[in-house]
Every structure is written in C-alpha cells, then in structure tokens.
Amino acid sequence: MTMQTTRLGDPAVRAFVTAVNNREREGFMALLAPDATMADDGSERDPVDWTDREIFSSRGHMDVDDESDGGRSLVVRHRNDVWGEMRTRWSFTVDGDGRISHFETGQA
C-alpha cells in the first residue's frame, strides 16, 4: 500500500519525493547540497545528469511503499517512460542544513 508523501518522516526526503512527483526540477535541485553525490546500483553517478535522465526528462514518479531509518530509507515503486515500473530502494544522507548531500538508489 502506498504511503502518503505528506506522512514521510524526514522533511528533506518528503520534499525530494514531492518535487519528483510534481516534476519541479528547480525545487528539486534546491534540495541538494552544492556538492551532493549519488549512486545507482552501487555506481557513482552525476546527480544532475542522472536525475535529468531518470526522473525529469522521462516523467519519473515515486510511490513510496515503506520507510525506515527515520524516513531516510525508502522502498519505492519508481516508474518512468524509459524503464517502466520497478521496485527500488532509496537511502538519503541529509546535512546539517537540511539539504540532501547523498542519495542512493537501486533495485529492491
């Protein structure tokens, strides 16, 4: 069963999912720390390039099935126009300013 985005425990992660689902690229980028990093299935990727390709230009959407670690770990049904829908895991590191400094995703 999908969790309501508004009920996600971590404010930065909640804003991340909201920005993805609303296709708010500028708002999304403002959530990331200036030197933010990310990994996809264990491989480091450029977060700007990856999110443009996997989320914004391909109409990505996140339906959250479960959260743990205070809202910083999610199990998500992520879908986009390139890959269709897949069950994925996401984990987030949030810095002292409340911005996402690192996120990782991969098949769940």
Alpha-carbon distances of 88 from 37, 54, 85, rounded to whole Å: 18, 13, 9
Burial of 30 (0-12, 13-18, 19+ CB in 10 A): exposed
Per-residue pLDDT band for 1 (boundaries 50, 70, 90) equals confident
Global confidence as pTM: 0.94
- The pLDDT of residue 2 is 84
Q: What is the pLDDT of residues 57-93, one digit of tens each?
A: 999 999 999 999 999 999 999 999 999 999 999 999 9
- The pLDDT of residue 46 is 96
- The pLDDT of residue 42 is 95
CA–CA distance, 3 with 48 (Å, rounded to integer): 27
- Whether domain 5-107 has CATH 3.10.450.50: yes
Per-residue pLDDT band for 28 (boundaries 50, 70, 90) equals very high
Q: Average pLDDT in the 98-106 region? A: 97
Q: Average pLDDT in the 33-53 region? A: 96
What's the 3-state SS for 58-72? Answer: CCCEEEEEEEEHHHC
CA–CA distance, 90 with 103 (Å, rounded to integer): 7
The label of the residue with tokens 């404010």 reads 11
Residues contacting residue 86 through CB under 8 Å, at least 6 positions apart: 77, 78, 79, 107
Which amino acid makes up residue 42?
Answer: G
Pick the more confident residue, 61 or 1. Answer: 61
- The pLDDT of residue 65 is 97
Alpha-carbon distances of 1 from 64, 75, 107, rounded to whole Å: 8, 11, 18
